[in-house]
Chain A
Amino acid sequence: MMSETKELMVRDLKKWFRSPAWLFASLVQPVLWLVLFGNAFNPTSMIPSFPGSVAIQKQILQSTFGGAPNYITFLTAGMLCFLVVTWAMWAGGPLVTDRSLGYLNKLLVAPISRTAITFSLLLSSILKGVLLSGILLVVALVLPGGLVFANSFDVVDLLGIFGALTLLSVGFLWLFMIISVRAKRFETLAAIGSTLGLPLLFASSALLPAASMPAWLSEVAGVNPISKAADIIRYLIIQGSISGTTLTTVASDFTYLGVFAVICTILGVFASNHGLRVE
Chain B
Amino acid sequence: MNAIEARGLTKVYPPSTRAVDGVSFTVGSGEIFGFLGPNGAGKTTTIKMLTTLASITEGSCTVAGYDVKSNEAEVRASIGLVPQDAAADGDLTGMENLMLSARLYKVPDEVAKNRADVLLGMVGLKDAAGRLARTYSGGMKKRLELIAGLIHKPKVLFLDEPTLGLDVQTRTAMWEYIRGINADEDTTIFLTTHYLEEADSLCGRVAIIDHGQIKALDSPSALKASLGGDVLEVELPDGPDVSTELSSMEGVSEVSRSGNVYSLKLVNTGRSLQEISVGLWGLGLKVIDSRITKSSLDQVFLNVTGRSIRDEVVDNGDAVVARARAERARS
Binding site for B on A (CB under 8 A): 3-4, 7, 11, 14-15, 18-19, 101-103, 105-112, 277-279
A106-B105 Cα distance, complex, nearest whole Å: 11
Does the CB pair A11–B100 fall under 8 Å? yes
Q: Does B315 contact A (CB under 8 A)?
A: no
Q: Does B118 contact A (CB under 8 A)?
A: no
Cβ contacts under 8 Å, A3 to chain B:
103, 106
Given A3-B103, A14-B91, A278-B48, residue A101 in contact with residue B54 (CB < 8 A) = no
A119-B298 Cα distance, complex, nearest whole Å: 49
Question: Which listed residue (A103, A110, A112, A277) contacts B89, Cβ 8 A?
Answer: A103
Cβ contacts under 8 Å, A105 to chain B:
53, 81, 83, 87
CB distance from B68 to the nearest CB of A (A): 11
Does the CB pair A7–B104 fall under 8 Å? yes
Q: Does B79 contact A (CB under 8 A)?
A: yes
A41-B73 Cα distance, complex, nearest whole Å: 56
A202-B315 Cα distance, complex, nearest whole Å: 53
A7-B54 Cα distance, complex, nearest whole Å: 25
Given A14-B91, A111-B76, A279-B13, 18 other A-B contacts at CB below 8 A? A3-B106, A7-B100, A7-B103, A7-B104, A14-B96, A15-B89, A105-B53, A105-B87, A106-B81, A109-B51, A109-B76, A109-B79, A110-B101, A110-B104, A111-B73, A277-B53, A277-B55, A279-B53
A106-B101 Cα distance, complex, nearest whole Å: 9
Does the CB pair B85–A102 fall under 8 Å? yes
Does the CB pair B83–A110 fall under 8 Å? no
Given A110-B105, A278-B48, A279-B55, residue A103 in contact with residue B87 (CB < 8 A) = yes
* 5 pairs of residues in contact across A and B, judged by CB atoms under 8 Å: A18-B91, A105-B53, A107-B104, A110-B104, A278-B48
A4-B100 Cα distance, complex, nearest whole Å: 9
- Tell me the chain B residues, 73-132 only, with Cβ under 8 Å from chain A: 73, 76-77, 79, 81, 83-85, 87, 89, 91-92, 96, 100-101, 103-106, 132
A124-B280 Cα distance, complex, nearest whole Å: 80
A11-B76 Cα distance, complex, nearest whole Å: 21
CB distance from B88 to the nearest CB of A (A): 8
In the A-B complex, the 7 residue pairs with the smallest Cβ-Cβ separation, listed nearest first, are A102-B87, A102-B85, A111-B77, A111-B76, A15-B91, A278-B53, A110-B104
Q: Using an 8 Å CB-CB cutoff, how does the interface string of B294-331 with A read, 1 for contact, 0 for none?
A: 00000000000000000000000000000000000010
Q: Is the interface of A mostly helix, strand, loop or mixed?
A: helix
- For chain B, the bracket of interface size reads 20 to 34
- Tell me the chain B residues, 42-83 only, with Cβ under 8 Å from chain A: 48, 51-55, 73, 76-77, 79, 81, 83
Smallest CB gap from A17: residue in B: B91
Interface centre among B79, B100, B330 (most CB of A within 10 A): B100
A103-B76 Cα distance, complex, nearest whole Å: 16
Does the CB pair B132–A18 fall under 8 Å? yes
A214-B17 Cα distance, complex, nearest whole Å: 54
Q: Using an 8 Å CB-CB cutoff, how does the interface string of B130-148 with A read, 1 for contact, 0 for none?
A: 0010000000000000001
Question: Which listed residue (B55, B81, B91) contacts A109, Cβ 8 A?
Answer: B81
A109-B103 Cα distance, complex, nearest whole Å: 14
Does the CB pair A102–B77 fall under 8 Å? no
Cβ contacts under 8 Å, B53 to chain A:
105, 108-109, 277-279
A4-B76 Cα distance, complex, nearest whole Å: 15
A38-B289 Cα distance, complex, nearest whole Å: 88
CB distance from B57 to the nearest CB of A (A): 11
A101-B85 Cα distance, complex, nearest whole Å: 7
Smallest CB gap from B11: residue in A: A279
Given A4-B104, A109-B52, residue A11 in contact with residue B81 (CB < 8 A) = no
Smallest CB gap from A113: residue in B: B73
Cβ contacts under 8 Å, A11 to chain B:
89, 92, 100
Does the CB pair A106–B83 fall under 8 Å? yes
Does the CB pair B54–A279 fall under 8 Å? yes
A7-B84 Cα distance, complex, nearest whole Å: 24
Given A18-B132, A105-B53, A108-B53, residue A4 in contact with residue B103 (CB < 8 A) = yes
CB distance from B216 to the nearest CB of A (A): 28
A254-B192 Cα distance, complex, nearest whole Å: 55
Smallest CB gap from B327: residue in A: A101
Given A3-B103, A15-B91, residue A110 in contact with residue B76 (CB < 8 A) = yes
